[in-house]
Amino acid sequence: GQQLNQSPQSMFIQEGEDVSMNCTSSSIFNTWLWYKQDPGEGPVLLIALYKAGELTSNGRLTAQFGITRKDSFLNISASIPSDVGIYFCAGQVIIQGAQKLVFGQGTRLTINP
């Protein structure tokens, strides 16, 4: 089946630094999504990307849908302590009428104050 390769798997940064993570796939996806999971909680949707080449911002977050539709990146500017968590990329496909998400392995972000 489809697979997403997400990197890096973990990041240790200082508060205030910028963060960048990305996902690549051998398959084409029609939608890319980025989720964040706080400790002890389920993932929450941060950004959704619908068009190849699209660049979308949500506050300090910026994400892009690669032009080939096989990759996406997420940037976080000026990191703060509440950015700690696991970030997942996901590609969306339709199977038998159901929206199915394929997830990356996750990037665990740790911030030193």
Partner 1 sequence: DVKVTQSSRYLVKRTGEKVFLECVQDMDHENMFWYRQDPGLGLRLIYFSYDVKMKEKGDIPEGYSVSREKKERFSLILESASTNQTSMYLCASTRQGHWLGYGYTFGSGTRLTVV
* Residues of this chain that bind partner 1 (CB under 8 A): 1, 4, 6, 9, 30-31, 33, 35, 40-45, 48, 50, 88, 90, 92, 94-106
Smallest distance from partner 1 to CB 113, Å: 24
Nearer to partner 1, 82 or 95 (CB): 95
Question: Least distance (Å) from partner 1 to the CB of residue 72?
Answer: 14
**How far apart are CB 18 and partner 1 at their closest, in Å?**
24
61-110-59 Cα angle (round to 5): 15
Least distance from C-beta 43 to partner 1, angstroms?
5
- Residue 13 structure tokens: 């940064």
Position 109: which residue type?
Answer: L
Pick between residue 59 and residue 113 the one whose CB is nearest to partner 1. 59
The single-letter code of the amino acid at 85 is G
In this structure, what token pair is assigned to residue 76?
A: 């976080």
79: helix, strand or coil: coil
Closest CA to 86 of 36, 42, 47, 46: 36
Minimum CB distance to partner 1 smaller for 62 or for 92:
92
Nearer to partner 1, 83 or 106 (CB): 106
End-to-end, the C-alpha distance of the chain in Å comes to: 40
